[in-house]
Chain A
Amino acid sequence: MSEPMHLKDSDSERRSFSGRTIAVLFLVFVCLTILVVRLVQLQVVEHEDYVTRSDDNRIQVQALAPPRGRILDRHGVVLAENRAVFTLALVTERIPDLPALFKELETLVSLTQAEIEDFKKRRARRKRPFEAVALRLALSEAHISILSVNRHRLDGVEVQAQLLRYYPHGDLFAHAVGSVRRVTEEDLRVLDSVNYSATQFVGKRGIEQFYETSLHGVVGYQNVEIDARGRVHKVLEISPPLTGESVTVHLDTRLQIAVAKALGDQRGAVVAIEPKTGGILAMVSTPSYDPNLFITGMTAGQYKELMTSRDLPLFNRAVDGQYAPGSTFKPVVGLAGLAAGTLSWEDTINDYGSFRIEGQPRIWRDWSWKKNNSGGQGVVSLRQAIYRSSNVFFYDLAHRMGIDALGNMARQFGYGQATAIDVLQRKKGLMPDPLWKHGAKGERWYPGDTVNVGIGQGDVLATPLQVASTAMVIANRGHWMRPRNLLSSGVDLVEVDAGVPMQDIQGVNAEDWERIVDSMEDVVHRGNKGFRQNGTAWAYIGRDIGYRMAGKSGTAQVVGIQQGEEYDESILDEYQRKHAWFLAFAPADNPQLALVVLIENGGGGSSVAAPVAREIMDAYLLPELAGANL
């Protein structure tokens, strides 16, 4: 087109326009072809992939946590069960202004700053968008109704029902039954990740821990159709979880209550065993705690108190506490002497309150020794040595028979071993011998070490469960029943493995058993005989007792008292005072109950621990004896 031409040339314009229109049409076809090709790619070629993706979106496989099996006592009283608890949870995607909502909830349900912090931690761990994150477990009835009234303006706030573990007796069975704790990252490395995929709590103590596999049950699944906000529209398929097995244990709630009452607020432990079965009828460790707090949450202050208290409420003294058994060990030493032939019932010694190994300067004293009074029990045989708890007799006996014979008998009684069938024994106590001392201290065994072991001191350590087992074995006249919790269950539990039964005590004849029991009855019943002639516990529990009880007191040193120094409770710190023991079973000729009482830093075994044992025995036996008389 030439430059000067300014007039419109409609013919060439029309031709040009037609060309352009065709070009546009061409462009349209090209573009539509691109779209169609792409659609074919998406809808035909990759169709299957996208069907999968679409199903992945809407179909969610949800693991269903199995309801945990219950734990019942021997009479069917529920010790651990599951309770519906209402949880306040937030779906943060649906909440426009989180801080404002927190403020609102502060006024509605008195939300605390600590709960907000916990919530933030939990939110950081969630797995997918629109997942509800718990803000508070265990809403109160009042708060549930407040929330439902205000529901319309609280978008993203959900109240979810959930089955949580509940211990109806609170702190009473915290140590005996144990409890569950929230599953941690660490747990998940050990646990079966599939079976625990929906599980929030796992047994961490006691029976709950030991029977975890059976109590837990088997996880179930459901396929649900969800929307993008995670709301379930319908359940497509379900394979329900298998409820955990319920477990009935030997524990007797009535006795447990009596034990807790008898112990009161003293620090200590009681283990009570039915001698015929080995069943643990009561197990208390004080102070205790309410295990429900670990499930529904507690304040930071409560948690700190539990974790840092010097009284160690979380610590199960009955099973995991190790103490010198003190004089409760003496019947074992006596039986060892009889079995080894070192001793007969007629042998006597003159107890002037002190013992020396020939040629050595060290003096071992009787418990009755005071600075200005040599003490001593006079002429004593084994029987007197037990009811008077003569130290000198057992120093001499232990020295004469040697550590091998003594250790042999102690191990038959289960010292230094875990003997229970289904109690998690983290601590096995310690029965020292030359080999152990060489390994642990790099020193050789001195005769003086044996002398110390002779009265249950030195390096001997035993748990209350072990000492209770001793009470049970003596009650059974040497016949072992391994301590156990399980009484019955619906099916055979995988955890139960009775293993090798404990051998009955060797080398002690029936007469010896009766005489040792008689000696122990004297501890309680021998009274009104005058100075140094009464059983050590008679004055405290033996005057008005209505049945025959065999017992042995023990008073275990916590700190070493200097040679020649007198033990003076008033100058020692409370936590350095002696531990008080009392081992007992009754009725002596047909034992129904064998038990041990330990009062930490309580002082004298006869004066402090024996009355507790008496109270427990009374509570257990008197109704039964009364019933038998009817």
Chain B
Amino acid sequence: MSGGDFVRSMPLGQGLVRNQPIYRIHIDLWLLLALGLVVSFGLIMLYSAVDKNPVLFTAQLLRVGAGFAILFIIAHVPPRYYFRWSPFLYAIVLLMLVAVLFVGVTAKGSQRWLNLPGLPRFQPSEMMKVAVPLMVAWFLNDRPLPPRLRHLAWALLMILVPAVLVGLQPDLGTAILIITAGLGVIFLSGIYWRWLGYASLAVALSLPALWFVMQGYQKERVLTLFDPERDPLGAGWNIIQSKTAIGSGGLYGKGLFAGTQSHLEFLPESHTDFIIAVIGEELGFFGIAALLLLYLCVIVRCLYMSSQMQDTFGRLVIGGLTLTFFVYLFVNIAMVIGLLPVVGVPLPLISYGGTSVITLLASFGIIMSIYTHRRR
């Protein structure tokens, strides 16, 4: 699929050796196209979800623009830098996570944001979703694969420390995504199926124990998943309303901007975590299916790109980030349609909010950089 390799030789006049590029544009056109479609789709839906509020919409438009700019820059940084910087990036973000616990800004009951002078307010936990797979891939790059047990132990430690820090904020959703990102890399590194089996068994057995560690509101969310009607005006409200929005959308939806659940404010968080319910209500089953198809394009293209890589770091990073992206969207949609408990996970590239979309586009920038700079 060489057409997708947007690595173009740029002959620049005479005197220069033919086929010797002065510079290359390190962008994967297919991936960029898929991302562009997802983001455009998302922006249209967001415009509806914020009730055509020009301030909120423009803010998000600017963030998306900034995200693509960052993607473009990052894609042009040779991957060896990412390889070298991985441990430092990891360490810096880890430090910021610690800082958040002490000086973070609290919103909606959890302390997630960091206000650093000269920078817009952001969530370090989001950056961890990129830093962890980079770090684990960096660590496993020099190690024999499938990984040995002690290497595995180190890798798990690298994953769990930030995950716990994020979990303390508390932000269970992001913690889970960080763990998934790290485990994804370990899985791709070829860990023995047998070990995987043991680990899965251990996790399954310890699930009941998790119940006792969970905080009251978290238990509430789990109980609500199984029976939203137990507190229809409280904990169950969100999930009842999101299911109602999606279900009432039917096959074709109520029409763009015509969703009653969202526009009459029955659906909370309609422009952030629950935006898929707006899509389901206004565009129906086919609307969501179209979006899933676009997401699938992104994922398939990324997995293809990872399969083209010759080096461990490249494979693991591309594969790991892709897997994270998928889990991200799966958890969000599953939560909104009542398959998983409500955790604070936005719909990737679509939900309102800056850190998430910029981090995600940055991670796609890294993917493009690794892919377009590969040895052939």
Show the binding face of A for B, using Cβ within 8 Å: 1, 5-10, 13-14, 16-21, 23-25, 28, 31-32, 34-36, 38-40, 42-44, 46-47, 49-51, 53-54, 57-58, 129, 225-229, 233
**Contact A47 B248, CB 8 Å, known A1-B146, A32-B296:** yes
CB pair A58–B250 under 8 Å, yes or no, is no
B200 to chain A, nearest CB (A): 13
Task: Determine the chain A residues whose CB is within 8 A of the CB of B271 once the complex forms.
Answer: none
Task: Determine the chain B residues whose CB is within 8 A of the CB of A46 once the complex forms.
Answer: 247
CB pair A20–B187 under 8 Å, yes or no, is yes
CB pair B285–A39 under 8 Å, yes or no, is yes
Across the interface, name the chain B residue whose C-beta is closest to A49.
B247
Interface check B122, CB cutoff 8 A: no
Q: 19 more A-B contacts (CB under 8 A) besides A21-B319, A35-B333, A43-B250? A: A1-B144, A5-B144, A9-B144, A16-B190, A34-B334, A38-B334, A38-B337, A39-B280, A39-B289, A42-B246, A42-B247, A43-B280, A44-B285, A47-B250, A53-B248, A54-B261, A57-B244, A57-B261, A129-B233
Interface check B326, CB cutoff 8 A: yes
Task: Determine the chain A residues whose CB is within 8 A of the CB of B184 once the complex forms.
Answer: 24
CB pair A28–B265 under 8 Å, yes or no, is no
CB pair A35–B303 under 8 Å, yes or no, is no
Across the interface, name the chain A residue whose C-beta is closest to B233.
A129
Interface check B362, CB cutoff 8 A: no
Across the interface, name the chain A residue whose C-beta is closest to B311.
A10
A35 to B334 CA separation, bound complex (whole angstroms): 7
- In the assembled complex, 17 residue pairs joining A and B whose CB atoms fall closer than 8 Å, in A order, are A1-B146, A8-B145, A13-B190, A18-B307, A21-B319, A24-B303, A31-B326, A32-B296, A38-B339, A46-B247, A47-B247, A53-B247, A57-B241, A57-B264, A58-B261, A129-B233, A233-B264
CB pair B146–A39 under 8 Å, yes or no, is no
Count chain B residues whose beta carbon lies closer than 8 angstroms to a beta carbon of A: 50
B55 to chain A, nearest CB (A): 19
Task: Determine the chain A residues whose CB is within 8 A of the CB of B145 once the complex forms.
Answer: 8-9, 13, 16
Across the interface, name the chain B residue whose C-beta is closest to A25.
B303
A49 to B250 CA separation, bound complex (whole angstroms): 11
A600 to chain B, nearest CB (A): 56
Interface check B129, CB cutoff 8 A: no
Task: Determine the chain A residues whose CB is within 8 A of the CB of B284 once the complex forms.
Answer: 43
CB pair B248–A50 under 8 Å, yes or no, is yes
B261 to chain A, nearest CB (A): 6
**Contact A21 B288, CB 8 Å, known A54-B260, A226-B264:** no
Show the binding face of B for A, using Cβ within 8 Å: 144-146, 184, 187-190, 233, 240-241, 243-251, 260-261, 264-266, 280, 284-285, 288-289, 292, 296, 299-300, 303, 306-307, 310, 312, 315, 319, 322-323, 326, 330, 333-334, 337-339
A47 to B251 CA separation, bound complex (whole angstroms): 9
A198 to B334 CA separation, bound complex (whole angstroms): 43
CB pair A228–B265 under 8 Å, yes or no, is yes
Q: Is the interface of B mostly helix, strand, loop or mixed?
A: helix
Across the interface, name the chain A residue whose C-beta is closest to B327.
A31
Q: Is the interface of A mostly helix, strand, loop or mixed?
A: helix
B305 to chain A, nearest CB (A): 10
**In the complex, which of the residues A21, A28, A228 contacts B306, with contact meaning CB atoms closer than 8 Å?**
A21
Q: 8 shortest A-B CB distances, which residue pairs?
A: A50-B247, A54-B248, A16-B190, A227-B264, A228-B265, A42-B247, A50-B248, A43-B285
A490 to B280 CA separation, bound complex (whole angstroms): 57
A20 to B339 CA separation, bound complex (whole angstroms): 26
CB pair A54–B245 under 8 Å, yes or no, is yes
CB pair A39–B300 under 8 Å, yes or no, is no
A54 to B303 CA separation, bound complex (whole angstroms): 40
CB pair B289–A36 under 8 Å, yes or no, is yes
**In the complex, which of the residues B189, B288, B330 contacts A39, with contact meaning CB atoms closer than 8 Å?**
B288
CB pair A24–B292 under 8 Å, yes or no, is no
CB pair B285–A28 under 8 Å, yes or no, is no
CB pair B300–A25 under 8 Å, yes or no, is yes
A370 to chain B, nearest CB (A): 80
Across the interface, name the chain B residue whose C-beta is closest to A6.
B144
Task: Determine the chain A residues whose CB is within 8 A of the CB of B244 once the complex forms.
Answer: 50, 53-54, 57
Q: Which of A7, A17, A36 counts the most chain B CB atoms within 10 A?
A: A17
**In the complex, which of the residues B250, B265, B285, B312 contacts A51, with contact meaning CB atoms closer than 8 Å?**
B250
CB pair A17–B188 under 8 Å, yes or no, is yes
CB pair A13–B187 under 8 Å, yes or no, is no
CB pair A36–B307 under 8 Å, yes or no, is no
Task: Determine the chain B residues whose CB is within 8 A of the CB of A39 once the complex forms.
Answer: 246, 280, 285, 288-289, 337
Across the interface, name the chain A residue whose C-beta is closest to B320.
A24
Task: Determine the chain A residues whose CB is within 8 A of the CB of B265 once the complex forms.
Answer: 227-229
A34 to B299 CA separation, bound complex (whole angstroms): 17
A562 to chain B, nearest CB (A): 72
CB pair B307–A21 under 8 Å, yes or no, is yes
Task: Determine the chain A residues whose CB is within 8 A of the CB of B233 once the complex forms.
Answer: 129
Across the interface, name the chain B residue whose C-beta is closest to A31.
B330
A59 to chain B, nearest CB (A): 9
CB pair A20–B190 under 8 Å, yes or no, is yes
Across the interface, name the chain B residue whose C-beta is closest to A226.
B264
CB pair A36–B264 under 8 Å, yes or no, is no
CB pair B266–A35 under 8 Å, yes or no, is no
A7 to B145 CA separation, bound complex (whole angstroms): 9
CB pair B190–A17 under 8 Å, yes or no, is yes
A57 to B281 CA separation, bound complex (whole angstroms): 14
Task: Determine the chain B residues whose CB is within 8 A of the CB of A14 once the complex forms.
Answer: 310
Across the interface, name the chain B residue whose C-beta is closest to A38.
B337
**Contact A50 B246, CB 8 Å, known A8-B144, A20-B187, A58-B266:** yes
Task: Determine the chain B residues whose CB is within 8 A of the CB of A10 once the complex forms.
Answer: 310
Task: Determine the chain A residues whose CB is within 8 A of the CB of B246 once the complex forms.
Answer: 39, 42-43, 50
B292 to chain A, nearest CB (A): 6
Q: Which of B248, B264, B300, B337 counts the most chain A CB atoms within 10 A?
A: B248
B371 to chain A, nearest CB (A): 14
A34 to B289 CA separation, bound complex (whole angstroms): 12
Task: Determine the chain A residues whose CB is within 8 A of the CB of B296 once the complex forms.
Answer: 28, 32
CB pair A28–B326 under 8 Å, yes or no, is yes
